[in-house]
Amino acid sequence: MAAGAGRQAALVMAKEDKFDVAVIGAGPAGMMAAGTAAESGAKVILIEKNKQLGKKLLLTGNGRCNITNAEFNLKELVKNYNNGEFLFHSFSVFGPKEIMDFFAKIGIKTKTERGKRVFPINDDAEEVLEALNRYLTGNPSTSSGQGSVNILFNSEVVSVETANNAAGRRKISKIILRGREITAEKYIFCTGGKSYPLTGSDGSGYKLSEDLGHTVIKPMPALSSIRLKEKWVENLQGISLRDIKISVFSPEAGQKGKRQFSESGDLLFTHSGISGPAALDISAKVGDLLEKSGIKIYLDLLPLLNHEKLEGNLDDILKRYPKKTVKNILSDFVPERLAEVLSGIAGVDKNKIANNMSKQEKRMLIKAFKSLEVTAASILGFDEAKVTRGGISLKEIDHKTMKSKIIDNLFFAGEIIDVDGKTGGFNLQMCWSTGYIAGEAIALADSLR
Ligand SMILES: Cc1cc2nc3c(=O)[nH]c(=O)nc-3n(C[C@H](O)[C@H](O)[C@H](O)COP(=O)(O)OP(=O)(O)OC[C@H]3O[C@@H](n4cnc5c(N)ncnc54)[C@H](O)[C@@H]3O)c2cc1C
């Protein structure tokens, strides 16, 4: 597929400035909300400040787009989010199964990989965006043929005006763009969070919401790499390890301290620290703890082997290969560059004949494998964070409709709200689900019927 085709094709200018529904932000949540509202026959405008749909969506899953996670047990599913209980209703109406069916219907077959991660069969985020574009502009899935969404590109909503409705409740009367005003019966804010601001989500939706009286829980980077103080990490850049375990302690008075939490998964060493799912998934909590106190992180590089088993395995190898060096023996367990670093940390000469190691040296090596201590310096900021923790307070949103409890004709969907998920397709699922719920609630609203 020609790169960029999906970005250009969708430009459909609105002829009038009065709509049933105005959706602000054409990311995954906004596209789903706009399409769902339009399927009911509502006249919908989708307003995007970029010149294209879904700029961030194209980056997801390294361009492969991890659409969702095939965790169909909803009680388990919500455990993968910060504030996940809020999503239970949305998932029960439009969860992973429903989004996979939806994509099949608009021409995107999916496949499920390790960790239940769901990807488009062709590993191509561009194709996903292309299909969404067709859904929005042609809407082939509606039998009535109604439902095309008006899309307005290069258009930033800069402020919002309000008035009181007949019942005396505050509602949005119009939204102001640069050089243009738009009025609608209902509005859905889908402006995303603050991460990767170059994709368009720079936090402007928080400001619009605060101006309307909403509370914004302090946005923080989440799913971001963790910078470490240890210099040796530079030598490990690019090494990835499967299924390690990270435990985080907050030190008290120089002691190892109290275990705060742990996470298992794949790990990637970067030039300055650690990344990969296991590190990304704990990064927001690490950032939070760092603001309060120092923390210690311990990596168990071989969690499937306890100390005794590892010692036994090591002894077996030493017996079989009595002439091998420490570095060679350790390379049976981890990549060679890491083996060298580990022997240095354990204080064992990497070129020593391994069979000549003292008991103490063996103990120190096992400790380096099972409890490698690293010190978090910081987590990388919004430019690197995959998502934002924080956002519109959930206390001010009805979880069954995504409707604001403060402004009568306002709805929210996607990353703008105070929910964020782990790696593995959970964040996009949250956007599809809340977008659908908001779009459907509006479609069912009396005022549009
Ligand atoms: C590199 C990377 C990889 C990722 N990979 C995955 C993955 O594989 N799976 C997964 O589940 N999640 C992934 N995520 C997270 C996922 O992309 C986001 O959670 C998701 O895009 C959020 O969707 P959204 O619609 O809420 O907001 P966004 O996608 O951020 O879209 C918001 C849109 O609103 C527009 N906007 C903002 N303010 C205004 C305004 N005032 N006026 C008009 N328009 C405005 C923006 O330009 C933007 O297009 C990844 C994120 C990144 C950065």
Q: Contact at 8 Å (CB) between 248 and 295?
A: yes
Query: Of the spans 111-120, 137-146, 325-334, which averages the highest pLDDT?
Result: 111-120
Is 133 near ligand 1, meaning CB less than 6 Å away? no
Q: Which of 15-24, 263-272, 352-361, 419-428 has the lowest mean pLDDT?
A: 15-24
Residue nearest atom 29 in ligand 1 by C-alpha distance: 27
> For residue 240, what are the β-bridge partners?
268
Is 22 near ligand 1, meaning CB less than 6 Å away? no
What value does the mean pLDDT take over residues 121-145?
82
What value does the mean pLDDT take over residues 59-70?
98
Is 404 near ligand 1, meaning CB less than 6 Å away? no
State residue 138's pLDDT score: 82
Cα 57 to averaged position of ligand 1 atoms, centre (Å): 6
The pairing of strands 68-69 and 117-120 is antiparallel
The mean predicted confidence, pLDDT, of the chain is: 91
297 pLDDT more than 70 = yes
Cα 220 to averaged position of ligand 1 atoms, centre (Å): 15
State residue 322's pLDDT score: 86
Q: What are phi and psi of 419, to 5 degrees?
A: -140, 140
122 pLDDT more than 60 = yes
pLDDT digits (tens, 9 = 90+) for 387-405: 999 999 999 999 999 999 9
Per-residue three-class SS string for the chain = CCCCHHHHHCCECCCCCEEEEEEECCCHHHHHHHHHHHHCCCCEEEECCCCCCCCCHHHHHHHCCCCEECCCCHHHHHCCEECHHHHHHHHHHCCHHHHHHHHHHCCCCEEECHHHEEEECCCCHHHHHHHHHHHHHCCCCCCCCCCCCEEECCCCEEEEEEEECCCCCEEEEEEEECCEEEEEEEEEECCCCCCCHHHCCCCHHHHHHHHCCCCEEEEEEECCCEEECCHHHHHHCCCEEEEEEEEEEECCCCCCCEEEEEEEEEEEECCCEEEHHHHHHHHHHHHHHHHHCCCEEEEECCCCCCHHHHHHHHHHHHHHCCCCEHHHHHCCCCCHHHHHHHHHHHCCCCCCEHHHCCHHHHHHHHHHHHCEEEEEEEECCCCCCCEEEEEECHHHEECCCCEECCCCCEEECHHHECCEECCCCHHHHHHHHHHHHHHHHHHHCHHHC
Determine the straight-line distance between the first and last CA of the chain, rounded to whole angstroms. 40
Which amino acid is residue 303, in one-letter code?
P
State residue 147's pLDDT score: 58
Query: Of the spans 133-142, 330-339, 409-418, 438-447, which averages the highest pLDDT?
Result: 409-418
Which ligand 1 atom sits closest to the C-alpha of 192? 27
Is 80 near ligand 1, meaning CB less than 6 Å away? no
CA-CA-CA-CA dihedral for 115, 120, 121, 122, to nearest 10: -120
Rounded distance, CA 303 to CA 370, Å?
7
Rounded distance, CA 82 to CA 138, Å?
36
State residue 2's pLDDT score: 36
CATH number for the 226-379 domain, one of 3.40.630.40, 1.10.8.50, 3.65.10.10, 3.90.1150.10?
1.10.8.50
Rounded distance, CA 89 to CA 212, Å?
26
Query: Of the spans 13-17, 27-31, 346-350, 440-444, which averages the highest pLDDT?
Result: 27-31
CA distance readout (Å), 414 to 30, 213, 294, 365, 418: 8, 19, 32, 46, 9
Which class does domain 10-221+388-448 fall in?
Answer: alpha beta
pLDDT digits (tens, 9 = 90+) for 304-343: 999 999 999 999 988 888 899 999 999 989 999 999 999 9
Is 434 near ligand 1, meaning CB less than 6 Å away? no
Residue nearest atom 13 in ligand 1 by C-alpha distance: 60
Q: What are phi and psi of 447, to 5 degrees?
A: -65, -15
Rounded distance, CA 255 to CA 172, Å?
55
Which ligand 1 atom sits closest to the C-alpha of 55? 49
Which ligand 1 atom sits closest to the C-alpha of 193? 30
Residue 8 pLDDT class (50, 70, 90 cuts): very low
Joined tokens for residue 286 = 């690490």
State residue 252's pLDDT score: 64
**Residues 381-399, buried b or exposed e (16+ Cβ, 10 A)?**
ebebbbbbbbbbbbebbeb
Cα 286 to averaged position of ligand 1 atoms, centre (Å): 23
Rounded distance, CA 34 to CA 43, Å?
9
254 pLDDT more than 90 = no
Is 49 near ligand 1, meaning CB less than 6 Å away? yes
Joined tokens for residue 141 = 């899935």
State residue 1's pLDDT score: 34
Q: Contact at 8 Å (CB) between 188 and 439?
A: yes
Cα 39 to averaged position of ligand 1 atoms, centre (Å): 23
Which ligand 1 atom sits closest to the C-alpha of 156? 42
Rounded distance, CA 46 to CA 44, Å?
7
Mutate to test the pocket of ligand 1, among 60, 155, 211 (most ligand atoms within 8 A of CB): 60
Joined tokens for residue 312 = 């036994």
140 pLDDT more than 90 = no
| Contacts of residue 13, Cβ cutoff 8 Å, sequence gap at least 6 | 150, 152
Rounded distance, CA 118 to CA 425, Å?
7
What value does the mean pLDDT take over residues 237-242?
96
355 pLDDT more than 90 = no
Is 391 near ligand 1, meaning CB less than 6 Å away? no
pLDDT digits (tens, 9 = 90+) for 12-47: 444 458 999 999 999 999 999 999 999 999 999 999
Residue nearest atom 52 in ligand 1 by C-alpha distance: 386
What value does the mean pLDDT take over residues 142-167?
83
What value does the mean pLDDT take over residues 124-149?
79
So where are the chain's domains? Answer: 10-221+388-448, 226-379
3 pLDDT more than 80 = no
State residue 127's pLDDT score: 98
